[in-house]
Chains A and B, each alone.
Chain A
């Protein structure tokens, strides 16, 4: 079956531009997560949705970061007025509610802010 897909795979943005990153989770997975992975580090939690409800956004680094999942399936992570420190790989993961720990990751979007 289809796994988690993310688009675009690569994004180059000039400092100050807004970007939108898309995640298509595995069909039937009610839980959806966004993580940020800096070079040489492990993924760091950003936010968590259960269906359309954003239950935890404690990891979003600033109010420039915004995530939504309006219909409980596809999710978008938006970053406004990008800064160089936003350069990272943004990973999306989904899971079943019954085994929330076992998260299935997409390939990520590599964002480079110049």
Chain B
């Protein structure tokens, strides 16, 4: 029973264009939503987050959108750069008895071509 799904295993984008990464979830109890980036042989690195009371958060080239009614989270990167090529994970926090625990999606491999 996967509570968090990233349905696109990979995404290929031209440098300078927009990258859109998507994440769907089933549990309405998630209260905080994060995106992590991972390079090979390194641990995931925190990128950007949003709480359940907001629908958009922007940080430079990165914007996270939350659609609670659709239980959908997305990350927009614009403009995309070759250095953005990595695996991107969405990670969700549920609170309550699961306080602190993050539930991750399976990841999307982003490749940005020069």
Query: What range describes how many residues of B lie at the interface?
Result: 20 to 34
- What's the minimum C-beta distance from B15 to chain A, rounded to whole angstroms? 26
Instruction: Say yes or no: B44 contacts A43, CB within 8 Å.
Output: yes
Q: Which residues of A contact B4 (CB under 8 A)?
A: 42
Q: Which residues of A contact B43 (CB under 8 A)?
A: 4, 91, 93, 105-108
Query: Which of A12-20, A66-74, A79-87, A96-104 lines the interface with chain B?
Result: A96-104
Q: Digit string of B12-50 for contact with A (CB within 8 Å is 1, else 0)?
A: 000000000000000000001010100001111110010
- What's the minimum C-beta distance from A64 to chain B, rounded to whole angstroms? 21
Closest residue on chain A to residue B90 by CB atoms: A42
- Ordered by A's residue number, 7 sampled pairs between the chains whose C-beta atoms are within 8 Å are A31-B100, A45-B103, A56-B97, A102-B46, A105-B45, A107-B42, A107-B43
Q: A42-B105, A42-B106, A102-B49 are in contact. Are A48 and B41 (CB under 8 A)?
A: no
- What's the minimum C-beta distance from B29 to chain A, rounded to whole angstroms? 14
Instruction: Say yes or no: B105 contacts A101, CB within 8 Å.
Output: no
Instruction: Say yes or no: B42 contacts A103, CB within 8 Å.
Output: no
Instruction: Say yes or no: B100 contacts A56, CB within 8 Å.
Output: yes
Instruction: Say yes or no: A103 contacts B46, CB within 8 Å.
Output: yes
Q: Give complex CA distance A94, B88 in Å.
A: 19
Q: A40-B106, A101-B32 are in contact. Are A107 and B41 (CB under 8 A)?
A: yes
Q: Which residues of B contact A58 (CB under 8 A)?
A: 101
Q: Give complex CA distance A107, B44 in Å.
A: 8
